[in-house]
Structure formats: C-alpha cells, structure tokens
C-alpha cells in the first residue's frame, strides 16, 4: 500500500462530519469537457481459444448435462454456473465477430448469436441463484448474471442484482466491481437527466472504498467520481477525486488504462 495514495483515498472518503463545512447547495453544473473513455479491467469470463462456431457446437452437450443433473444433486450449482459462463463466453465471441465483420449479414448474424447467448446465460444463472441460495460461488453467479443483464440493456435489473450481491455477500471480491458497474449505468442515466447525480456519486464512492488503495479499478472509480462531483458543482471534491485518480495512474502504470487515465485526469484538472 502506498502511504500517499492511501491518505488521498482516506481524505476522499472521509465522513461528511470530518470535512470542512459544505457551501450552500450549488446548481448542477455541466463540466466544460466530456469524460474521456478509460479502459477498465472488469472481471470477465476468461476467454478460451474456442471460436464462435466451436462454442456453438458445444452448447448441446453443456445444456444436456445441465438438464440431466437433478436439482438435488450437490454438483448441480457448479454445472449450472459452468453452462451459464459458457453462454457468456459465446456472447463475447459473437461480439468480437460482430466488431470484425465487414458485411451487414455477418454483423446481424453475430448480433443474434450474442443476444441469444446472453438471454440463455441469464436464464441459467438466475436458476442457479434461485435453486442454490447457499452455493459457495453465489457471488460469482450474481455478478455475471448482473453483467449479462447489463449487456442486454436491462440496466435496472442489473443494478438490483448487484445490490443483492452487495447485501448478501459484502466481503465478496465482486462487491467493488458491482458498485462500479452501478456507477457506470447510473452515470449514463444522469447524463440523460433520468437520475440525480448523487446516485452515481454514491456508487463510485462505495466502489473506491471497497477497492482500497491498490484496487485495480480505484483510479477509474475516482475519475468517474470526479465528474459526478463536477456535475453537482462540487469542484473541490472533484479536484480531490481527479488527483487521486492521477496519483493512482502514476503509481500503477501497468494497470489497464493507466496511460489513458493519466492523460484524462491531467486534462480534467487543468479545466477545473
């Protein structure tokens, strides 16, 4: 743990009562620049070397094993998780195919495979969560279930499942990423005026808290928190968040997106 980074995080997350008295409520302010896209390493299903065609060909055997495993079998939850993640991997492969396609027909086919795979992943993972509430890897089930819903555009359902995860398994390694995902979805809604900026601010604050000083997503969470504070007119809090993100990028140069984060935070601090 880096002392300077730990101190910056502690100051950023200090309870309101220990901070200086806040100014009178400010009007929501649109920052003079848009946020920069920052790559972030969300925990995802590990991709194998299998192609979309190979993954599709393996679906019948995966589904057959799931259907043949009785609900009373102690291995059923593990089987269901494996099947669900197989469909998630299939969706990822199809998404890559769609991005690389040069013909409309190929893009359409890949998009259909992706949607079908994600829909089936949701069905299986939801069944695992409902049938096996004491499953030792329930946090993993709920996290990937929420991410699948998010990929399908069901952001509200994804948030509910993420919150279910944070309440049932508060010590899970997926908790900070759940809060981060909630922050990202509500950030987009706040940009559209659908929710108040305090909602993504709270989500990013919790993500930063649970990430800790050396958490891989801390810099990204702090950067997005800075923009949420900026939109709320809290420039001092925004500056603290951007500074934390900048220091994180400097101290963790090998983390995914560190270079982009360093450039984006420098730009944001200069515009404040």
Domains of the chain, start order: 1-15+23-43+197-272 (no CATH), 44-172 (1.25.40)
User: Residues in the chain with pLDDT < 70?
Assistant: 1-29
Instruction: Give the rounded distance of the alpha carbon of 7 from its chain centre.
Output: 25
Helix (H, G, I), strand (E, B) or coil at 234: coil
213-246 pLDDT per residue, tens: 878 999 999 999 999 999 999 999 999 999 999 9
Helix axes 104-131, 52-68, angle to 10 degrees: 20
Residue 229: predicted pLDDT: 96
How close are the terminal C-alpha atoms of the chain, in Å? Answer: 29
Residue 220 neighbours by CB under 8 Å, 6+ apart: 38, 40, 180, 245, 257, 261
Residue 173: predicted pLDDT: 94
Residue 237 neighbours by CB under 8 Å, 6+ apart: 12, 229
Residue 9: predicted pLDDT: 44
Instruction: State the DSSP string of 91-102.
Output: HHHHHHHHHH--
Copy the structure tokens of residue 47: 């991709």
């Amino acid at each position: 743990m880096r002392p300077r980074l730990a101190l910056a995080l502690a100051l950023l997350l200090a309870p309101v009562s220990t901070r200086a008295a806040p100014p009178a409520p400010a009007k929501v302010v649109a920052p003079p620049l848009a946020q920069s896209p920052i790559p972030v390493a969300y925990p995802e299903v590990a991709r194998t070397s299998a192609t979309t065609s190979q993954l599709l060909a393996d679906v019948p055997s995966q589904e057959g094993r799931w259907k043949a495993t009785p609900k009373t079998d102690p291995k059923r939850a593990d089987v269901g998780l494996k099947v669900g993640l197989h469909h998630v991997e299939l969706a990822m492969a199809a998404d890559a195919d769609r991005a690389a396609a040069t013909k409309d027909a190929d893009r359409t086919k890949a998009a259909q495979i992706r949607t079908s795979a994600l829909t089936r992943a949701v069905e299986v993972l939801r069944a695992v969560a409902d049938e096996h509430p004491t499953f030792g890897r329930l946090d993993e089930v709920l996290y990937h279930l929420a991410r699948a819903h998010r990929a399908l555009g069901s952001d509200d359902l994804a948030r509910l499942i993420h919150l279910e995860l944070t309440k049932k398994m508060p010590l899970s390694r997926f908790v900070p990423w759940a809060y981060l995902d909630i922050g990202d979805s509500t950030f987009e809604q706040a940009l559209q005026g659908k929710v108040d900026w305090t909602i993504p601010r709270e989500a990013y604050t919790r993500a930063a808290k649970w990430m800790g000083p050396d958490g891989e997503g801390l810099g990204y969470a702090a950067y997005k928190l800075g923009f949420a504070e900026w939109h709320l007119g809290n420039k001092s809090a925004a500056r603290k968040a951007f500074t934390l993100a900048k220091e994180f990028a400097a101290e963790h140069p090998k983390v995914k997106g560190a270079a982009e984060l360093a450039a984006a935070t420098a730009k944001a601090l200069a515009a404040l």
